[in-house]
Structure 1
Amino acid sequence: MQNKQVANASAPGKAFGSDNIAGVSPAILDALVACNADPTTPYGADALTASVEQQFCELFERDVSVFLVPTGTAANSLCLSVMSPPWGSIFCHPSSHINTDECGAPKFFTNGAKLLAIDGLAAKIDVEKLAKASRLKRGDVHATQPHAVSITQATEMGSVYAVDEIQAISKVCKDADMRLHMDGSRFANALVSLACTPAEMTWKAGVGALSFGATKNGVMGAEAIILFDQDLAREMAYRRKRAGHLFSKMRFLSAQMNAYRQNNLWINNARHANQMGQRLAQGLRQISSVELLGESPSNIIFCRLPQAMTAALLKEGYAYLHDRWEPGVARFVTRFSTSIAEVDQLITSMQHIHAQQQGEFA
């Protein structure tokens, strides 16, 4: 299954493979239907798109430049394309999505910029290692030159950068004359867990460009590039068009993002997904044969399972990522539509499997 080891089609209520397997929030679907009624100016020159842009300015408490695109890969890669020249290097964590799951798109969109991995605990870049790497081969024409750092919020392990951690990375960027990008594919999940404002988690902490994710949190297919460094905006407009991501019928992206922000839908969806993740983690802690791998305040839970438990769960129809990182390591992701009953059913199944297997070895 495209090199992602997931069980085949899961039984109803047994899907924990990712948050993007969920459907679409009803309010988003209603908004798409509503914006379909009348003809509208294309390419983002419509009133709804203008309204969404203004909403983002209000959300982030300052003027920002907004560019809607349909995918997170486009958002990340376009951001990086205006933050680094082809001879530049972009620092990121080894497990970051831009490094492992975007098929070389950042390098393609930047026309050759190099991704350099900086390791760190809990899938977060180690600040001291970053500072050291940012000083290497400065001015050496034989080496790519440091131009940007990309952090993932929340990370692929479910961990979250605290505001002071973002500030520390930002200081390294400032000292080394680099720009800071945030891959916010799970931006709302991180925001809810930190209980801070969007401004505090981004530009006030030194972030210059943000990929504001929505698809994983109830939207059909819309992401927003948010530029706090507005010197990048003019080039972004041309790069989005050249890359084929300037939608003619932009109102359909804007309608999704507008509905996503209305009535706190984005926060409520993320809060629920996080709560289901914490409920699952709490249940797993009670099973002695399951080892939680790190603390996650979001909706992504990593653990180590006995191979026999993995086999039994797959046989029961559960779908989740497993054995992709190393044998026995599993990832469960809860989503905005995950119910308490689904989580409790999974925990109960694992408890029963554990009891059966303990009986076999008694």
Structure 2
Amino acid sequence: MTACKNFLSDNTAPIDKAVLEALLQANENHTLPYGQDKFSAELETVFAQKLGAKLKVFPVATGTGANALALSALVSPWGAVICDKAGHIENDEGGAPEFYTGGAKIMTIQSKDGKILPKKLKEALLYNQNKGVLAPPIQALSLSQSTECGTFYCKAELKALVDLAHEFGLLVHLDGARLGNAVAALECDVKEITSEIGIDALVFGMGKAGAMAAEPLVIFENERTKPALKALSHLRKRAGQTWSKGRFLSVQALAMLAEDRWLKNSRHANAMIAHLLEGLTAKQKTSSFEFYLPYETKTNELFLITETALLDHLEKEDFAFYRFPVEEIFKDEITHFKNPQMARFVTSFYTKKEDIEALLKAF
């Protein structure tokens, strides 16, 4: 079997066979439309049991759609949401959050590794308050778990940020596109980093873990989220995110939740990156190959800085990955490189050891 050379993203992986089977089974008979079907009702029950909380589930097809829809329910058009500067809503959603919210501003906090520090958040919130009417009031905090740098927040780190946000009257949105990878790395129960610490809106990512198109938006029921819950059904319809044949979103999510397939798949993806890192570390000790890790690597994304010529060689060997310019904060650490560049390699539930071995051989 030919090794897969595509390490661009976990989005490049096929659909998990369990999801395909669930879609086929749901395709047998007529049922009610617009999420009134039995599968959608079951999905809400399963999520409530898994997360141990009262909640409402709004199945959405894409992560961008789910994030933007969530923020449209949490933030006023004249308000603002704050996130890390590396956040997906800031860099990779084509203005969808601003569009869905009707013009709310996205404000950012610079970090070294995609993780906001409580001190920096408090400074930003106090500054925003002192600006008065001259600045849109920050009404929501958006966090990514795991982050766009492949790092993750531990429970205590998340809780500190959530508590601070609530103290300032903000709602908290968690972009969980790679939630499974974070849970697998933390070896915790998903409740511990969502419902138990006060997350208000959760995008429970499944596409990167093997679904075709299923990113359920989970809203936890509390006093803070009452206005959002009242508006969301209408907002979802207005945004074109209410599927007439909604069962085909729900059955994907049910298939991923069954036997924790979303977590098992994420755990495998993490293990493949760990195998890659182990091989690269061994190779660096026994050859002239050098690399620098800008971020801690424990999920399914590996960022490294190495010579541009080596990355050129990998591409000539048909390996696919993303490149990024080296940020200023790392330049003092890599002065020994002649022409450094940063690259990102991502694994998925479908990545095999043979794929990793082929990549290691090419380095």
Deviations 1:233-282 (A, max 9, x none): 12111100010000000011111111111122111101100000111112
Deviations 1:49-105 (A, max 9, x none): 101110000010111110001000011011111111111111101111000000111
Which amino acid letter does the alignment assign opposite residue 173 of structure 1? A
What is the distance in 2 between the residues matched to 1:162 and 1:318?
33
SS of match in other structure, 1:138: helix
Contact 1:119 1:126 in 2 (8 A): no
Q: Which residue of 2 aligns with 1:43?
A: 34
Q: Which residue of 1 aligns with 2:200?
A: 208
Contact 1:65 1:228 in 2 (8 A): yes
What is the distance in 1 between the residues matched to 2:116 and 2:110?
6
Following TM superposition, by how much is the alpha carbon of 1:171 offset from its aligned partner in structure 2, in angstroms?
A: 1.8
What is the distance in 2 between the residues matched to 1:305 and 1:138?
43
Change (3 A) 1:137 1:265: closer
What is the distance in 2 between the residues matched to 1:315 and 1:185?
31
Q: Which residue of 1 aligns with 2:242?
A: 246
SS of match in other structure, 1:141: helix
Following TM superposition, by how much is the alpha carbon of 1:325 offset from its aligned partner in structure 2, in angstroms?
A: 5.7
Contact 1:166 1:206 in 2 (8 A): no
Work out whether 1:19 is the aligned partner of 2:10. Answer: yes
- Within 5 Å, give how 1:278-293 maps onto structure 2: 278-286=274-282, 287=284, 288-293=289-294
Work out whether 1:336 is the aligned partner of 2:349. Answer: yes
Deviations 1:23-63 (A, max 9, x none): 00111111111111101110011111101110000010111
Q: Which residue of 2 aligns with 1:265?
A: 261
2:60 to 69, 72, 77: 69
Work out whether 1:96 is the aligned partner of 2:94. Answer: no
What is the distance in 1 between the residues matched to 2:128 and 2:26?
53
What is the distance in 1 between the residues matched to 2:326 and 2:67?
23
What is the distance in 1 between the residues matched to 2:326 and 2:292?
15
Change (3 A) 1:81 1:155: same
Q: Which residue of 1 aligns with 2:108?
A: 117
Q: Which residue of 2 aligns with 1:226?
A: 218
SS of match in other structure, 1:82: helix
Contact 1:82 1:235 in 2 (8 A): yes
Contact 2:183 2:189 in 1 (8 A): yes
SS of match in other structure, 1:121: coil
Contact 1:285 1:292 in 2 (8 A): no
Q: Which residue of 2 aligns with 1:255?
A: 251
Which amino acid letter does the alignment assign opposite residue 134 of structure 2? H
Alignment length, in residue pairs?
Answer: 340
Which amino acid letter does the alignment assign opposite residue 131 of structure 1? K
Which amino acid letter does the alignment assign opposite residue 276 of structure 1? M
Contact 1:284 1:292 in 2 (8 A): no
Contact 2:3 2:354 in 1 (8 A): no
SS of match in other structure, 2:212: coil
Change (3 A) 1:27 1:281: same
Change (3 A) 1:293 1:285: farther
Following TM superposition, by how much is the alpha carbon of 1:120 offset from its aligned partner in structure 2, in angstroms?
A: 1.9
Work out whether 1:317 is the aligned partner of 2:318. Answer: yes
Structure 2, unaligned runs of 5 or more: 328-339
Following TM superposition, by how much is the alpha carbon of 1:137 offset from its aligned partner in structure 2, in angstroms?
A: 4.0
Following TM superposition, by how much is the alpha carbon of 1:203 offset from its aligned partner in structure 2, in angstroms?
A: 2.2
SS of match in other structure, 1:227: strand
Structure 1, unaligned runs of 5 or more: 1-10, 351-362
What is the distance in 1 between the residues matched to 2:291 and 2:110?
26
What is the distance in 1 between the residues matched to 2:149 and 2:276?
15
Contact 1:221 1:253 in 2 (8 A): yes
TM-score by length of 2: 0.91
Runs of 4 or more above 6 Å deviation? none
2:189 to 194, 197, 201: 197
Q: Which residue of 2 aligns with 1:108?
A: 99
What is the distance in 1 between the residues matched to 2:295 and 2:38?
46
Q: Which residue of 2 aligns with 1:346?
A: 359
SS of match in other structure, 2:184: helix
Work out whether 1:33 is the aligned partner of 2:29. Answer: no
What is the distance in 1 between the residues matched to 2:243 and 2:201?
21
Alpha-carbon RMSD across the aligned residues, in angstroms, is 1.3
Deviates more, 1:279-288 or 1:328-337: 279-288
Deviations 1:107-141 (A, max 9, x none): 11111111111122311112101101111242711
What is the distance in 1 between the residues matched to 2:232 and 2:361?
50
Contact 2:39 2:250 in 1 (8 A): yes
Contact 1:93 1:123 in 2 (8 A): yes
What is the distance in 1 between the residues matched to 2:30 and 2:114?
46
Which amino acid letter does the alignment assign opposite residue 360 of structure 2? I
What is the distance in 1 between the residues matched to 2:233 and 2:190?
24
